[in-house]
């Protein structure tokens, strides 16, 4: 993911309606009283990340469309994401339900994946590009501005509580792979995320059912933030 320096806009609209009559002389009628709507301050980057930092946890359904130049139709994935903030040990899990089941868990210094093809574990310290991209998710949800500013140039466009955060990678090798990331939301609720690759391919994820106050029990953490058990080996056929 990526970050830019923020500019914050304040929008104030005041409309006055005046009525009168032209023609025959009439007794003057009192003009209607118009009360200007109070200015609504737009959320700042500091406030937005502060709200993320205050989350107890996160759960949301997602629908991801991967749009690639070589494909006539986008690839679609649907499932649920879960996040538990805990500083550098924050945990993020993505459970894909359609079209095929898979689980990705980011836990500390490793990314773990399980799907129908098997299992894989990537040590993030040995894969800088994966580490930076993974850190983007974790640092945004954790509201870690210092870490984000080190990795990305940030630009926030906001109107009231609605916002779009544009992120552009500053560090290699991620800047050679990702052109930009655009995340939009309302307050602490993320609605969409768009990741544009340098070659033009992109992934657009829409979130729904977002719960930014999710609390996970110890049993849920053990279940949701770990890979499913390996299927039992088939017993040899009897003679």
Average pLDDT of each block of 10 consecutive residues along the chain (239 residues)?
Answer: 28 22 37 56 92 91 95 95 84 95 89 93 83 78 87 94 94 90 94 94 96 94 91 61
Helices 128-142, 45-53: inter-axial angle, 10-degree rounding: 90
Sign of CA dihedral 185, 191, 195, 200: negative
The predicted model scores a pTM of: 0.76
DSSP per-residue string spanning 148-165: HHHHEEEEEEEETTEEEE
Domains of the chain, CATH where assigned: 45-224 (2.50.20.10)
- On the 0-12 / 13-18 / 19+ scale of CB atoms within 10 A, 91 is buried
pLDDT at 5: 27
Integer Cα distance of 30 and 12 in angstroms: 27
Question: What's the pLDDT score for residue 186?
Answer: 95
Q: What is the pLDDT of residue 8?
A: 23
Per-residue model confidence (pLDDT) at position 25: 34
């Amino acid at each position: 993911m990526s970050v830019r320096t923020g500019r914050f806009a304040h929008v104030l609209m005041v409309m006055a309606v005046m009525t009168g009559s032209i023609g025959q002389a009439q007794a003057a009628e009192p003009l209607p009283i118009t009360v200007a709507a109070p200015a609504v301050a737009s959320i700042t980057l500091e406030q937005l990340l502060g709200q993320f930092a205050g989350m107890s946890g996160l759960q949301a359904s997602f629908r991801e469309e991967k749009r690639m130049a070589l494909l006539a139709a986008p690839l679609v994935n649907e499932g649920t994401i879960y996040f538990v903030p805990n500083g550098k040990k924050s945990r993020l899990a993505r459970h894909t339900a359609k079209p095929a089941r898979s689980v990705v868990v980011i836990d500390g210094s490793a990314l773990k994946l399980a799907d129908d093809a098997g299992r894989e574990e990537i040590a993030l310290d040995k894969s800088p590009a994966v580490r930076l991209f993974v850190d983007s998710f974790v640092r945004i949800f954790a509201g870690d501005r210092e870490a984000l500013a080190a990795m990305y140039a940030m630009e926030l466009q906001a109107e009231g509580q609605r916002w779009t955060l544009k992120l552009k990678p500053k560090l290699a090798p991620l800047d050679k792979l990702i052109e930009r990331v655009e995340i939009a939301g309302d307050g602490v609720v993320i609605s969409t995320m768009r990741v544009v690759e340098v070659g033009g391919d992109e992934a657009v994820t829409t979130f729904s059912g977002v719960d930014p106050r999710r609390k996970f029990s110890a049993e849920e953490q053990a279940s949701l933030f770990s890979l499913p058990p390996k299927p039992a080996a088939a017993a040899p056929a009897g003679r």
